[in-house]
Amino acid sequence: MIGQPPPIHSAVDANGVDVVTGAFTVSTRDVSIGPAGAEGLSYVRTFFGAGWTDNLIGSITNADPTYTVSFGGRSESFTLTGGVYVPAQGQQSTLTFNAAAKTYTYTTGAGAVVVFSVALGGPYAPPTFATGGRPTSVTWPDGHKLTYTYQTVSVCMTTCPGTMVTASRVQSANNNAGYQLKLTYKSNSPETTADLVDWTTVTSATGINNAIDYCDPAANSCSGFSTPWPSAAYATTAGPPTTTTVTDALARVTRYTYSGARITGVKRPSSASDTTTIAYNGDGRVASVSNGVGTWRYDYSVVGTTATTIVTDPLSNNRITTGDVTSDQLSSDTDALGRKTIFGYDSLGRLNNVTRPEGDQIQYVYNPRGNITKVTRVAKPGSPLANIVTTAAFDPTCTQPAKCNKPNVTFDANGGDTHYDYDPVYGVPLTISGPIPTAGSPRPVTRLSYTLLYAWYKDSSGLVVRAATPIYKLTGTSACQTRAACAGLADEVTGTLAYGTSGVANNLAVTSASAGSGDGALTATTSLTYDAVGNRLTVQGPLGAAQTSRYRYDPARQLTGVVGPDPDGAGPLKFPALRYTYNLDGQATLVERGTVASQSNFDWPAFATLEQRAQAYDTQGRPTQTSFASGGLTYALTQLGYDAA
């Protein structure tokens, strides 16, 4: 069920409860393909109070003059004033509208450009809040690009024949590093608006490396893959109570139970019953959360615009928070010992000071674009200590957010100045000049160089082709050890990064990293390879193939083993190895050090254990015991116990 977009502000506690609004929140990363960051892709779902949303459901909600942009798990709003969309929270981002193309362009403070199509929005299919449009592409300053493929259908308003309306859903998301997230749905043939809920209900998400397998971005599903890909399956059982299950690549099942649109129970894969239960009051706010051992109670009161929440833990200790109901921002937080922290905001809702329980403060100053230009740490009242101040300077005007929202110079608490020079188009740092260490010594400077590179992956005919757009990748670094100028000299320390070979299927992962002296007398190169999913497979040290370590993973991308280099070449010693075992919740329960005959898959099952570290957990997933053993004898044991809170 698709619920609501992320809130602009939230104050979520350790139980997943927003102590200002009383909403329950839980987030889960179900699928990933490739490395972390823009190079790879992840399918992340988050429950915000009354329904799920995922990181592929970006939206613009227009309630003129307020336009709320939701993207990447967060939301922010703009106020349309005189034809200009003014950031309502004083944020660094911008929003513009192209009337001819019927598209919005949202540019983040870091320079990522998100294009929203008005035609893809509308109230008929979830997410119904995307009245102003949905994203079609995201381009990061360094050239990484994510493209969404939608399916749009025309259905009858209520009965057929009748008034026809259109609705859209995401079929897939592909990036120019060659990775894809593919979604499948409960239904593919809607006839009326009543069918659109099933038509937008996701039943599976799969991460695919297009350098290995092609999948039509517009298709309802893909098959015939050469290898199993990371995936998650979703199923719903109608109630009461209604439940949904998430089954991962290892067949581990997480279950969510609902009352209406609200989650009332969460069951982790290791448990036969709910491991977290949530109850609500008559206003729909969380009244209690139980983890099977203890229960936390939530009591609310509102006076004017101030909401007060009292959280009572299983030991009857109280945490008291206050917040502003108009902004959903936390104003104060008092713990069970009476220690109170106060949060202050400016007129745009930006945090400008935090007062700690003993009176010491952190103060923030912003420029007109919302960049922090000054941070002052003030000692406790009566202390003789001076304020600790750090500052930053930015471009006075902004035409390229990738650059202008990064500092040109920063001053540390000792007055040391660090200067930055950026590429004017891509916004990446070209030089970083640190503080002068001692009088008369040169300023340390690091220089960075980049190259426009293309990933290569398969098209619909199975041919390996070049990506449509390049990515600006870091390929070199240079720094002097003692001199002001050292290019080509022994004093220079250089670094070089290489990526996949042009014309050969690759995702632009680093294939080698070299470090050495500027005169070339010393160079050490480390080489890396990866499996189809993007996990690091081997690392070869500067000494060559004899210095290779190999890594092993399960279908959920958990590290299951590491085999080091052969310690004695042709000698009798076996390869040192580590083996990892996990419980159904993905927690490591056993780490074994031992040996194997080789780094091959064939020899791995014959892993010989030399020593073990075992970790036990309670039903709440907390560590309760750690033991170390060797030769069948336990020689160290640590046990942990917890109170009800």
Domain final residue pick, 293, 325, 350? 293
Question: In this structure, are residues 131 and 69 in contact, taking their beta carbons and an 8 Å threshold?
Answer: no
Q: Report the alpha-carbon distance of residue 308 to residue 302 in Å, rounded.
A: 6
Domain final residue pick, 293, 322, 350? 293
In a domain, 147, yes or no: yes
CA distances, 458 to each of 137, 182, 212 (Å): 20, 16, 7
pLDDT digits (tens, 9 = 90+) for 485-502: 898 899 999 999 999 999
In a domain, 110, yes or no: yes
Backbone φ and ψ for 195, nearest 5 degrees, come out as: -85, -10
Q: Summarize the confidence of residues 400-418 as an average pLDDT.
A: 95
Can you tell me which residue has the tokens 């040391």? 416
In a domain, 57, yes or no: yes
Q: Summarize the confidence of residues 295-309 as an average pLDDT.
A: 97
Q: Categorize the per-residue pLDDT at 440 as very low, low, confident or very high, splitting at 50, 70 and 90.
A: confident
- Assigned token pair, 595: 């040996």
pLDDT for 2 equals: 73
- Assigned token pair, 579: 């083996």
Pick the closest to residue 8 from 81, 91, 103 (CA basis): 91
HSE-up of residue 51 (Cα within 13 Å, Cβ side): 14
Average model confidence (pLDDT) for the chain?
A: 95
Q: Categorize the per-residue pLDDT at 9 as very low, low, confident or very high, splitting at 50, 70 and 90.
A: very high
Question: In this structure, are residues 25 and 150 in contact, taking their beta carbons and an 8 Å threshold?
Answer: no
pLDDT of 1 above 70: no
pLDDT digits (tens, 9 = 90+) for 357-384: 999 999 999 999 999 999 999 999 999 9
Domain final residue pick, 250, 273, 293? 293
Q: Beta-carbon neighbour count of residue 593 at 10 Å?
A: 14
In a domain, 218, yes or no: yes
pLDDT of 645 above 90: no
pLDDT of 36 above 90: no
Q: Categorize the per-residue pLDDT at 3 as very low, low, confident or very high, splitting at 50, 70 and 90.
A: confident
Q: What is the pTM of this model?
A: 0.94
Q: Beta-carbon neighbour count of residue 322 at 10 Å?
A: 20
pLDDT of 82 above 90: yes
Q: Report the alpha-carbon distance of residue 97 to residue 140 in Å, rounded.
A: 19
Query: Domain tally for the chain?
Result: 2
Q: Report the alpha-carbon distance of residue 136 to residue 132 in Å, rounded.
A: 13
pLDDT digits (tens, 9 = 90+) for 121-145: 888 877 888 889 999 999 999 999 9
Pick the closest to residue 126 from 202, 64, 191 (CA basis): 202
Q: Report the alpha-carbon distance of residue 437 to residue 481 in Å, rounded.
A: 12
Q: Which H helix or E strand runs over 402?
A: helix 401-404
Q: Report the alpha-carbon distance of residue 56 to residue 41 in Å, rounded.
A: 11
In a domain, 514, yes or no: no
pLDDT of 294 above 80: yes
Domain containing residue 559: CATH number:
2.40.128
In a domain, 353, yes or no: no
Backbone φ and ψ for 539, nearest 5 degrees, come out as: -130, 120
In a domain, 267, yes or no: yes
Q: Summarize the confidence of residues 307-313 as an average pLDDT.
A: 98
Q: Beta-carbon neighbour count of residue 391 at 10 Å?
A: 18
Q: Categorize the per-residue pLDDT at 5 as very low, low, confident or very high, splitting at 50, 70 and 90.
A: confident
pLDDT digits (tens, 9 = 90+) for 202-225: 999 999 999 999 999 999 999 999
Supply the range of the domain harboring residue 587.
Answer: 549-645
pLDDT for 172 equals: 98
Question: In this structure, are residues 420 and 409 in contact, taking their beta carbons and an 8 Å threshold?
Answer: yes
Pick the closest to residue 155 from 200, 117, 125 (CA basis): 125
In a domain, 65, yes or no: yes
Can you tell me which residue has the tokens 């007060």? 308
Can you tell me which residue has the tokens 């199993």? 228
Q: Report the alpha-carbon distance of residue 199 to residue 155 in Å, rounded.
A: 11
Pick the closest to residue 255 from 645, 31, 559, 584 (CA basis): 584
Q: Categorize the per-residue pLDDT at 482 as very low, low, confident or very high, splitting at 50, 70 and 90.
A: confident
**Long-range contacts, 269-278 (Cβ 8 Å, 24+):** 269/584, 269/585, 270/583, 270/584, 270/585, 271/619, 275/619, 275/620, 275/621, 278/24
Question: In this structure, are residues 253 and 235 in contact, taking their beta carbons and an 8 Å threshold?
Answer: no
pLDDT for 378 equals: 98
